[in-house]
């Protein structure tokens, strides 16, 4: 019996996600990071956007950050998105969407965070605004320049795909000072 293409693709994605531990994907994710992402990870448009947001958010209290995160979550699916829109509608977000398009389906999403872990720019809307409480920020920006974090292979609600995430510290190329972090969602099937 021949399975329809859509069903076969979904079944294949499920098998990939359940049968192979994330460690099986790590070498492929490392190659993708080094071969593709490193070329554009410190583009001036990203560095400028992060630096500008760091200047604005450096004094935010935990309560202010929580309020912003709650506002973001409340706006998901809403017609009015005053918290989300600035993250999706800026030059850095346009640059990220260009990278997603150029990746030919290998990248499911990419977003950049400031020193606080707040989203600066995103190719697609994320499920929350504050990433500072997650390993993608604490294991990159929180560790320092050159840090990389490989997330587990999982089904991502925001992209509706099985993906692995690789996150890295974004640093000032002149000083080496960490500015923020970036997370790239990589399609699991495209890795293999």
Helix (H) or strand (E) holding 13: helix 5-19
Residue by residue, DSSP assigns 139-176 as TTTTT-TT-EEEPPPEEETTTTEEEEEEEEEEE-TTT-
- Is residue 68 within 8 Å of residue 129, measured between CB atoms? yes
Per-residue pLDDT of the chain (192 residues; tens, 9 = 90+): 333 333 233 334 443 444 345 567 788 888 889 988 988 999 999 999 999 999 999 999 999 999 999 999 999 999 999 999 999 999 999 999 999 999 998 998 999 999 999 999 999 999 999 999 999 999 999 999 999 999 888 887 766 778 889 999 999 999 999 999 999 999 888 776
Instruction: Give the pLDDT confidence score for residue 153 in this predicted structure.
Output: 85
- Ordered by where they begin, the domains of the chain are 5-191 (3.30.450.20)
Per the CB < 8 A criterion, the answer to whether 139 and 149 are in contact is yes
Buried b (16+ CB within 10 A) or exposed e, 69-101: beebeebeeeeebebbeebbebebbebbbebbe
Residue 158 pLDDT? 67
Distance CA(174)–CA(3), nearest Å, equals 54
pLDDT of residue 52: 98
DSSP H/E element including 31: helix 22-35
Comparing C-alpha atoms, which of 160, 171, 164 is closest to residue 189? 164
Token pair for 166 = 């690789």
Quote the DSSP letter at residue 78: -
The CA dihedral of 90, 147, 154, 85, to the nearest 10 degrees, is -10
């Amino acid at each position: 019996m021949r399975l329809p293409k859509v069903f076969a693709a979904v079944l294949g994605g499920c098998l990939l996600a359940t049968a192979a531990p994330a460690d099986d994907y790590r070498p492929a994710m490392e190659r993708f990071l080094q071969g593709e992402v490193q070329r554009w990870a410190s583009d001036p448009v990203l560095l400028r956007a992060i630096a500008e947001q760091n200047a604005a958010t450096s004094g935010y209290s935990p309560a202010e950050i929580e309020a912003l995160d709650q506002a973001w979550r409340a706006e998901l699916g809403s017609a009015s998105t005053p918290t989300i829109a600035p993250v999706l509608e800026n030059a850095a977000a346009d640059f990220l969407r260009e990278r997603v398009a150029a990746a030919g389906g290998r990248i499911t999403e990419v977003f950049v965070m400031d020193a606080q872990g707040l989203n600066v720019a995103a190719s697609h809307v994320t499920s929350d605004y504050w990433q500072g409480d997650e390993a993608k920020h604490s294991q990159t920006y929180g560790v320092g320049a050159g840090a990389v974090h490989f997330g587990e292979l999982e089904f991502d609600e925001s992209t509706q795909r099985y993906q692995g995430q690789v996150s890295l510290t974004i640093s000032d190329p002149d000083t080496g000072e960490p500015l923020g972090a970036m997370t790239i969602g990589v399609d699991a099937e495209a890795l293999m």
